[in-house]
Amino acid sequence: MPTFEGFMYPNEIELQWSVLIVLYPFLTGLVAGAFILASLERVFRVEAVKPTYRLALLTALAFLLVAPLPLQLHLGHPERSLEMYLTPHRSSAMAMFGFVYLWYLMAVLVLEIWLDYRRDIVMLAQSSTGWRRLLYRVLTLGSYNISEAALDLDNRVGWIITVIGIPSAFLLHGYVGFIFGSIKANPWWSTPLMPVVFLFSAMVSGIAAVMLIYMVVSRIRRTPIDMRCVDAVAKYLFYTFIIDFTLEMLDLIHRIYESDESFRSLDFMVHTRLFLSQVILQILLGTVTPILLLAVTQVFKLSEAVRKRIYSLAGSLTLIGILAMRWNVVIGGQLFSKSFLGYTTYKMGLWAREGLATAIVLMLLPIFILWVLVKILPPWPEKEKGLLSHAASAGD
């Protein structure tokens, strides 16, 4: 039995939403953020970030595939989750998740990736052998037409899908924020700012993740990092981060100024049980530090090596900060009593179904899926492709 102090209602003593429910908004946030970065390139034609375009799409797909798993593991009867498709309940935001998810997965991500890769898929279907050949053949859907006109059409349709995709990505993650923001019984969650804050923190985490993944992948492949690209991505990270931070501060100041009946209780919580994860990890280490680091790169002219280091450090801190933010929202929102007179603690199991080990596996799984996706659909830019497909066919 978890320890608690003061007055808790019996149903508040034990937390219902575990570390897996912390992961869920973190994962969908990465999806939405990565996708929005990719869309920037496509819709606004930002040439500089092009090297990350496909990588960002694949990252989004890899994380999206894992995103429902923490929810499934949280359910007592995971098989019943499918019933939200069969008998949808329109008055429940949570019950609509299936459709938001499916729409984003199939109508946006899979389609966009397919259209973008079609030329490669057709070429790989002709050059590869064995099971790979079979796979690529299936992916071509039996159409090998990669004429100028066909590709041009793909490009235009892809553009439309991206344009639809941006609001869809906003919907996907805004929805996650909405779930929390609309719980009117919980003053820690209930604010209409929640979806917006979630959205911007999602973009921040997604951009940081793609930047890091791009740098790590370049390192593994021993190819030089395109600094023009990383600089541009870091600049976006900086700007979105400032908006995100402003929004979070707005929320905070608003709460402090309003000082409603929940304030003393929440304030106490932030100064005690959430001090480490909120003040230290989320705000100081995970937000202020990376913003300052990125500001330094914007103001001073630094050498490439130094910038790379700063970007890696800022990116990693950002991810830690956003994860801490999800933690503080999900876990923090359950630590205090609705009576505002008591506080409980969250004890995370290690090997439990919703424990730490599961959480770590769920964090590593998308990386593994990404690795497989990158093997199947290499995201490298045009000029290296000849080399690569050559190497692939020679290697296998």
Partner 1 sequence: MKFKDAEHLLRMAFLFVAGLIVFVLLRNALVPRSFGQYGHYRGDALGEIKARPVAYAGHGTCETCHSDVLEVKDKGKHTHVACESCHGPLAKHADDPTAVQPEKLDTRVLCVRCHEANSAKPKSFPQVVSADHSAGLACNECHKPHTPVIEAEAKATGGKKK
CB nearer to partner 1: give 3 or 147: 147
Q: How far apart are CA 334 and CA 327, in angstroms?
A: 11
Among 46, 84, 123, 150, binds partner 1 (CB under 8 A): 150
Least CB distance to partner 1 at residue 156 (A):
10
CB 128 within 8 A of CB 140: no
Residue 156, phi then psi, degrees to nearest 5: -70, -45
- Tell me the helices (H) and strands (E) count for the chain, helix number first: 15, 2
Q: How far apart are CA 270 and CA 283, in angstroms?
A: 12
Listed ranges 19-27, 63-71, 147-155, 274-282: which one lies at the site for partner 1 (CB under 8 A): 147-155
Least CB distance to partner 1 at residue 305 (A):
45
CB nearer to partner 1: give 161 or 373: 161
Q: How far apart are CA 272 and CA 109, in angstroms?
A: 42
Among 3, 16, 129, 147, binds partner 1 (CB under 8 A): 147
3-state secondary structure of 261: coil
Q: How far apart are CA 63 and CA 69, in angstroms?
A: 10
Tell which positions 166-225 bind partner 1, by CB under 8 A. none
Least CB distance to partner 1 at residue 9 (A):
5
Site string for partner 1, 342-371 (x = CB under 8 A): ------------------------------
CB nearer to partner 1: give 157 or 253: 157
Listed ranges 5-13, 222-230, 274-282, 349-357: which one lies at the site for partner 1 (CB under 8 A): 5-13
Least CB distance to partner 1 at residue 283 (A):
34
CB nearer to partner 1: give 154 or 251: 154
CB 373 within 8 A of CB 61: yes
Least CB distance to partner 1 at residue 123 (A):
14
3-state secondary structure of 342: strand
Should residue 7 be labelled a site residue for partner 1 when binding is judged by CB under 8 A?
yes
* Cα–Cα separations (whole angstroms), residue 130 to 58, 117, 136: 24, 20, 10
Beta strands in the chain (DSSP E): 4-6, 342-344
- The secondary structure of 32-53, three-state, reads HHHHHHHHHHHHCCCHHHHHHH
CB nearer to partner 1: give 48 or 125: 125
Listed ranges 148-156, 160-168, 249-257, 344-352: which one lies at the site for partner 1 (CB under 8 A): 148-156
Residues in contact with partner 1, counted by CB under 8 A, come to a total of 23
Helices (H), 259-303: 263-271, 289-299
Least CB distance to partner 1 at residue 153 (A):
6
Least CB distance to partner 1 at residue 139 (A):
11
Tell which positions 67-126 bind partner 1, by CB under 8 A. 85-87, 89, 106, 111, 114, 118
**Nearest Cα to 102, choosing from 37, 197, 43, 175?**
175
CB 344 within 8 A of CB 12: yes
Among 39, 52, 128, 140, binds partner 1 (CB under 8 A): 140
Please report, as ranges, the residues that interact with partner 1 according to CB under 8 A.
7-10, 85-87, 89, 106, 111, 114, 118, 140-143, 145, 147, 149-150, 153-154, 157
